[in-house]
C-alpha cells in the first residue's frame, strides 16, 4: 500500500513539474545577494542537522569530527529527499562500521529527536495560527484545532506508551518505538534541551529559506505563512504512510496555501524551489565529504553509554 500511495503522489508531482516547467526558468535569474543568502541558509540547515547528530552520538561516548557530522548530514539530507529514511540508514551504517555505534541505539534516539521536532513545530504551528486569527483575521480555526489535537495527543502518548499488537497496524510500529525512545530521552534533560534548541533554530532557518526561495520565483508569500509551512513540512516529512516525501511535501503546502488564500500552484512552486535549492547544496557537500567518510578506517567498538 505504501508503494502504491507513494507512486501515485510522485506521478502527480512529476505531472505538475512538467505543466509548470516554464515557471522555474526564473531560477537562472537569481540575484547574487539571494544566492549568497540561500547558500548560507542551506549550509546552516546542513550544519544544524549535523550538530544534532553530534549531540546524539556524544551521549553514547562518541565524539564525531566536523567532517563526519557535517558530511553525514549532507549525505542523509540528500538521500532522504528521494527515499524515506534512506539517509538515516546510510548514517547508521557508517556509525556502526566506523565507531561501533549500535543500529538500535541510533534509531531509538533518532526517533526521540523526530518526536521532539514534531512537538516543537506543532507548538510553532499553533502559535502562528493564533497570530493569524487574532492579528490578521485569517480563517485558520481548523488549523489551530488540528495543531491543538496533535499537541494533546503527544502528551497523551508521552504519558501512556503506545503498544501495538504483533502483526496489527504495522505502520504504527515506528511511532510506538519512537515514543518509547522519546520517553527514554526525557531522562537525558541536557540532551533533550540541546536537541530542542537546535530544532527550534532549524525551524526558524527553514522558514527564512522558504521565504527567500519563494521570492526567487517571484511569489509574495508572507513570512508568517512560511513559518506555518515549515511546521507542516516537518510533520509531513515523517508520515509513515509513504516511502518518499517527494511530492507529499509540495502538495501538502499547496493545499495549505490554498486554505490561507493563495493557490495550490503558488505553494507547490515555492516548495519545489526550496527543495531544488537546498538539494543542490546538499549534493555538492555530499560529493565533497563522501570520499572522506568511506575511506576512514574502522575504530574500536564504542564506549558504554554514559
Number of domains in the chain: 1
Percent of the chain with pLDDT over 90: 24
Residue 49 has pLDDT above 90, yes or no: yes
The alpha-helical segments, DSSP class H, found in 59-172 are 66-80, 86-99, 103-135, 141-159
pLDDT tens-digit series, residues 194-213:
989 999 999 999 999 999 98
pLDDT band at 297 (very low <50, low <70, confident <90, very high): very low
Give the other-Cβ count within 10 Å of 287's Cβ: 12
Whether 15 maps to a domain, the answer reads: no
- Looking at residue 306, its pLDDT comes to 44
Whether 24 maps to a domain, the answer reads: no
| CA distances (Å), origin 264, targets 200, 256, 258, 259, 270 | 27, 8, 5, 9, 10
Percent of the chain with pLDDT over 70: 82
- Cell numbers standing for residue 283: 549534493
User: Which residues form the domain of 104?
Assistant: 37-294
Whether 10 maps to a domain, the answer reads: no
Whether 2 maps to a domain, the answer reads: no
Query: Which value, in Å, is the radius of gyration of the alpha carbons in the chain?
Result: 19
- Cell numbers standing for residue 260: 490561507
| CA distances (Å), origin 86, targets 39, 80, 160, 239, 245 | 24, 6, 30, 14, 12
pLDDT tens-digit series, residues 169-197:
555 565 666 666 666 777 788 888 898 99
pLDDT tens-digit series, residues 101-141:
887 777 777 877 888 898 999 999 999 999 999 998 888 88
Whether 16 maps to a domain, the answer reads: no
Residue in this structure with the C-alpha cell 529514511, named with its chain if needed: 85
- Burial label for 304, CB within 10 Å (0-12, 13-18, 19+), is exposed
Whether 22 maps to a domain, the answer reads: no
Whether 31 maps to a domain, the answer reads: no
Whether 43 maps to a domain, the answer reads: yes
Mean pLDDT of the chain: 82
pLDDT tens-digit series, residues 138-162:
888 899 999 999 898 887 766 655 5
Amino acid at each position: 500500500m505504501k508503494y502504491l500511495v507513494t507512486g501515485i503522489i510522485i506521478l502527480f508531482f512529476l505531472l505538475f513539474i512538467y505543466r509548470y516547467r516554464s515557471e522555474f526558468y526564473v531560477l537562472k535569474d537569481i540575484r547574487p545577494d539571494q544566492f549568497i543568502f540561500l547558500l548560507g541558509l542551506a549550509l546552516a540547515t546542513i550544519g544544524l542537522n549535523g550538530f544534532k547528530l553530534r549531540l546524539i552520538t556524544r551521549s553514547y561516548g562518541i565524539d564525531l569530527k566536523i567532517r563526519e557530522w557535517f558530511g553525514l548530514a549532507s549525505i542523509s539530507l540528500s538521500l532522504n529527499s528521494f527515499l524515506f529514511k534512506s539517509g538515516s540508514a546510510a548514517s547508521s551504517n557508517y556509525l556502526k562500521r566506523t565507531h561501533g555505534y549500535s543500529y538500535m541505539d541510533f534509531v531509538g534516539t533518532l526517533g526521540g529527536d523526530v518526536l521532539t521536532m514534531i512537538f516543537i513545530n506543532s507548538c510553532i504551528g499553533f502559535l502562528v495560527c493564533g497570530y493569524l486569527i487574532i492579528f490578521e483575521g485569517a480563517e485558520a480555526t481548523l488549523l489551530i484545532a488540528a495543531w491543538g489535537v496533535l499537541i494533546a495527543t503527544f502528551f497523551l502518548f508521552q504519558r501512556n506508551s503506545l503498544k501495538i499488537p504483533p502483526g496489527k497496524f504495522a505502520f504504527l510500529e515506528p511511532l510506538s518505538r519512537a515514543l518509547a525512545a522519546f520517553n527514554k530521552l526525557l531522562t537525558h534533560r541536557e540532551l533533550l534541551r540541546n536537541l530542542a534548541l537546535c530544532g527550534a533554530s532549524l525551524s526558524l532557518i527553514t522558514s527564512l529559506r522558504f521565504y527567500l526561495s519563494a521570492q526567487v520565483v517571484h511569489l509574495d508569500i508572507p513570512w508568517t505563512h512560511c513559518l506555518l509551512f515549515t511546521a507542516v513540512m516537518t510533520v509531513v516529512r515523517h508520515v509513515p504512510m509513504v516511502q518518499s516525501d517527494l511530492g507529499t511535501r509540495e502538495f501538502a503546502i499547496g493545499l495549505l496555501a490554498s486554505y490561507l488564500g493563495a493557490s495550490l500552484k503558488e505553494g507547490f512552486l515555492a516548495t519545489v524551489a526550496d527543495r531544488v535549492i537546498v538539494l543542490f547544496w546538499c549534493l555538492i557537500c555530499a560529493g565533497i565529504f563522501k570520499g572522506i567518510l568511506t575511506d576512514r578506517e574502522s575504530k574500536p567498538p564504542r564506549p558504554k553509554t554514559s
